[in-house]
């Protein structure tokens, strides 16, 4: 309590008389201004979030609505029948009064599934090993440069990977795996020139493995150190600690990384258009290992290769149908990734408690 008539009270009274506010009132005013500013920022971010959600739903509605005519005309045969190239040409050349709505996308859907599954089979073991090395086995002086290199590889444009595949992978397959006798034997089925399912799998695995390495390494780094320390204190070797303790704890994070890598693989167009042959051919397992050497095409690369058909209503609807399948597949994968991320948060909360 300031004594009445004291110098302090006199100073405060002098400030009030001069129109100057005390320090605590200035703090209160600045705090109010800061809270108003923060509330404005929160409302702006909320508005942007709502706007982004609306735009996403509008894009989904636009793509699916454009695809409905061809899906209604073909029904399930659009998914379970082939002949895309022939049907696309017929629709392109059809008279204006007699449009052709017949399309079969089975080779495109199968090609998308084959390349994605094959790329994941190549990328996941290799990427998991690299992630384990980066987080647990890599010398400290090399960790940062290698992590930067991995993230740089993930940022390289897809056309660069396509060029590497076209100039290196495709000639290597043609020279080492395709003989003249094999090419003549398959000439009535398809042309074997190196552009193939195998080339697409290799190039696509090169593209998605940096993404998976980065996400898997983050998941392993997020494992609480006390788990590892407790295992080592019990006499368990470092490698068995990684396999038996760290990998099971980071399983959901690794799974989320694999799902996101799969989403990246499904939507790839340019690189696969360059190395797979861009032919709507359905590779057959009856041909044995030649199955991997046959040309094919994916849904995404079809949209690029047949983009000139957007001027024809029937071709446009067919391409939007391909896009709608890709959109639905990516949404499903995103939901699975969210579920996996939710599992990580629940485990983290349980561990913290």
The answer on 134 and 13 residing in a single domain is: no
Q: Which of 57, 74, 91 is the last residue of a domain?
A: 74
What is the pLDDT confidence band of residue 26, given thresholds at 50, 70 and 90?
low
Give the separation between CA 55 and CA 44, rounded to whole angstroms: 16
Supply the pLDDT for residue 134: 92
d(CA 39, CA 203): 48
Q: Is the pLDDT of residue 296 over 60?
A: yes
Q: Tokens 């593209």 map to which residue?
A: 207
Q: Are residues 54 and 111 in the same domain?
A: no
Which is nearest to 298 in space by CA: 154, 34, 79, 110?
A: 110
Specify if 249 maps to a domain: yes
- Split at pLDDT 50, 70, 90, the class of 352 is very low
Residues present in the chain in total: 353
- Tell me the sheet residues that pair with 277: 296
Instruction: Judge whether 174 lies within some domain.
Output: yes
Quick check: 323 and 239 in contact, CB under 8 A?
no
Give the domain-ending residue among 53, 74, 95.
74
47 plus 130 within the same structural domain: no
Residue 296 DSSP code: B
Most distant pair of Cα atoms in the chain: their distance: 112
The rounded distance, in Å, linking the Cα atoms of 117 and 27 is: 61
- Classify residue 88: in a domain, yes or no: no
Does residue 94 form part of some domain?
no
Q: Can you give the pLDDT at residue 31?
A: 66
Does 134 share its domain with 268?
yes
In this structure, are 19 and 157 located in the same domain? no
Phi, psi for 218 (deg, rounded to 5): -65, -40
User: Which of these, 154, 162, 171, 183, lies nearest to 278 by C-alpha position?
Assistant: 162
Domain boundary among 56, 74, 92: 74
Same domain, 66 and 110: no
pTM, two decimal places: 0.82
| Total domains present in the chain | 2
CATH number, domain with residue 183: 1.10.3720.10
Residues 140 and 18 in one domain: no
CA 199, CA 169: separation in Å to the nearest integer?
Answer: 6
Q: pLDDT tens digits for 103-128?
A: 999 999 999 999 999 999 999 999 99
DSSP sequence for 227-282: HHHHHHHTT--HHHHIIIIIHHHTHHHHHHHHHHHHHHHHT--HHHHHHSB-----
Between 205 and 29, the higher pLDDT residue: 205
pLDDT > 70? residue 30 = no
Question: What letter would DSSP give residue 286?
Answer: G
Q: Which domain does 153 fall in, by range?
A: 106-352
160 domain-assigned: yes
pLDDT higher for 13 or 309?
A: 309
Tens of pLDDT, residue by residue over 41-74, are 888 888 998 998 899 899 999 999 999 999 999 9
pLDDT tens, residue by residue, 143-154: 889 988 988 888
Domain match, 299 and 192 both: yes
Same domain, 307 and 195: yes
Instruction: Determine, yes or no, domain membership for 254.
Output: yes
Average pLDDT rounded to a whole number, residues 306-332: 91
Q: Is 131 found in the same domain as 38?
A: no
Report if residue 92 sits inside a domain: no
Residue 345 lies in a domain: yes
Phi, psi of 296 (to 5 degrees): -160, -175
138 and 60 within one domain = no
CA dihedral 281, 283, 287, 293 (to 10 degrees): 90
Between 119-123, 163-167, 341-345, the lowest mean confidence (pLDDT) is in: 341-345
Phi, psi of 277 (to 5 degrees): 100, -20
In this structure, the answer to whether residues 125 and 252 fall within a common structural domain is: yes
Mean pLDDT of the chain: 86
């Amino acid at each position: 309590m300031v004594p009445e008539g004291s110098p302090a009270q006199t100073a405060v009274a002098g400030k009030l008389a001069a129109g100057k506010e005390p320090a605590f009132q200035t703090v209160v005013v600045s705090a109010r201004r800061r809270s108003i500013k923060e509330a404005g920022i929160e409302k702006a971010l909320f508005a942007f979030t709502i706007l982004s959600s609306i735009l996403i739903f509008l894009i989904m509605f636009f793509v699916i609505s454009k695809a409905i005519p061809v899906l209604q005309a073909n029904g399930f045969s659009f998914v379970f029948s082939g002949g895309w190239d022939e049907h696309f040409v017929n629709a392109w050349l059809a008279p204006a009064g007699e449009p052709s709505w017949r399309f079969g996308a089975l080779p495109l859907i199968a090609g998308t599934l084959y390349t994605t599954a094959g790329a994941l089979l190549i990328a996941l073991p290799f990427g998991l090993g690299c992630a384990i090395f980066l987080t647990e086995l890599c010398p400290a002086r090399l960790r940062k440069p290698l992590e930067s290199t991995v993230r740089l590889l993930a940022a390289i444009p897809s056309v660069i990977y396509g060029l590497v595949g076209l100039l290196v992978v495709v000639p290597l397959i043609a020279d080492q795996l395709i003989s003249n006798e094999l090419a003549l034997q398959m000439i009535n089925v398809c042309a074997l020139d190196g552009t193939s399912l195998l080339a697409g799998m290799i190039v696509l695995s090169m593209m998605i493995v940096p993404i998976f390495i980065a996400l898997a390494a983050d998941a392993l780094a997020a494992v609480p150190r006390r788990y590892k320390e407790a295992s080592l204190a019990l006499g368990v070797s470092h490698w068995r600690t990684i396999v038996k303790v760290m990998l099971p704890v980071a399983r959901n994070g690794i799974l989320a990384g694999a799902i996101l890598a799969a989403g990246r693989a499904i939507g790839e167009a340019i690189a696969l258009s360059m190395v797979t042959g861009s032919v709507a051919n359905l590779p057959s397992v009856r041909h044995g290992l030649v199955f991997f050497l046959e040309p094919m095409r994916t849904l995404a690369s079809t949209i690029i290769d047949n983009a000139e058909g957007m001027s024809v209503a029937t071709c446009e609807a067919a391409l939007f149908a391909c896009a709608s399948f890709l959109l639905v597949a990516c949404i499903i994968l995103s939901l699975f990734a969210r579920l996996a991320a939710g599992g990580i948060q629940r485990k983290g909360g349980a561990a913290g408690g």
